[in-house]
Amino acid sequence: MPMASAFRLLFAAVILFGGAWPITKAALADASPLWFGTGRSALAALGAAILLAALGRLRFPVAEDRRAVFFLGVFQLGGFFALTHLAVALVPAGRTAVLSNVVTYWLIPLSVLVLGEKVSRARWFAAGLGLAGAGVLIGPWSVDWSQRDAVIGHLMLVLAGLLWTIAIIASRKWPPRTPMFDLLPWCFGIGALMLVPITLVLEPDGGVGLSSWPHLLYIGLFAAPIGTWCVIEAGRKLPGAVASVGFLMVPAFGVLVSTLWLGEPLGWDVIIGGGLIFASVIMAARG
């Protein structure tokens, strides 16, 4: 896949996933977090399966595909969804979008250690610039760290970023033979099956209210499967340093949408942080 095509997939993921966090935050006014996460996984699995069946492409993963399917289903979808949907109820939607997508501090070192990638000095600098922008967007100085929920929520999001990174590394180390889109029903199915028992134990009285169903249908049937496919393909095809910096555009867009839709404050931190991330993406692409 040419680099230009990989960047188009990256930008599509930015729009879909950056806008998904504020929508999720709005949906949680009438839905419990894990039930919403389980619902979006199940709907994504069902929607992708129906589409592939209509195209005559629905097949059980062959042996060469199963390792990637396992890592993507368990780590990127099951584990990541569980942590982020619990955290979004504890921290602002914009901050959730930032921290959960900051894979830079995980992806570049693991790409070097596990995959043996060579990272240029310019891309290391771009990564640092992007992390600085993410740090400004997170705004740790505005968080009351004496509150237990704030600490737990932020730790969940850092761990979620690690789980996503492990899935990216696995899909690059053991690339599947089958086109990635054809494997999505199985990946989302594993994620949903993993979330069901966690949801039943932690939220036995939860559910998704009527007013949240439009949000769930949009994310589950459209944003989740298409956005996940874009993220996986971009993560596999772009160099680790470029992909990790590029993914920072997801939270930058998420913060912008949160500001415009949910009324979360737009201050100097959003402007400066977004500018640093944009500059880091350009530098990483050129470096």
Phi/psi of residue 208, each to 5°?
A: -120, 115
The string of pLDDT tens digits covering residues 117-133 is 787 787 777 777 777 77
What mean pLDDT do residues 237-256 have?
Answer: 73
* Three-state SS letters, 107-130: HHHHHHHHHCCCCCHHHHHHHHHH
SS3 label, residue 208 = strand
Task: Please state whether the predicted TM-score (pTM) of the whole model is above 0.85.
Answer: no
Question: What's the domain count of the chain?
Answer: 1
Which token pair is 215? 């949000």
Question: What distance in Å separates the CA atoms of residue 36 and residue 148, rounded to the nearest whole number?
Answer: 24
Question: What distance in Å separates the CA atoms of residue 83 and residue 65, rounded to the nearest whole number?
Answer: 26
Backbone angle region of 51, left / alpha / beta, with phi > 0 → left and psi within -120 to 50 → alpha: alpha
152-153-156 Cα angle (round to 5): 85
Is residue 279 scored above 70 in pLDDT? yes
Task: State residue 46's pLDDT score.
Answer: 93
Domain that holds residue 249: 3-286
The string of pLDDT tens digits covering residues 24-80 is 878 888 999 889 989 999 999 999 999 899 989 999 999 989 999 999 999 988 888
Q: How many residues does the chain have?
A: 287
Average pLDDT, the chain: 81
One-letter identity of residue 187: C
| Dihedral of the alpha carbons of 218, 223, 224, 229, in degrees to the nearest 10 | 150
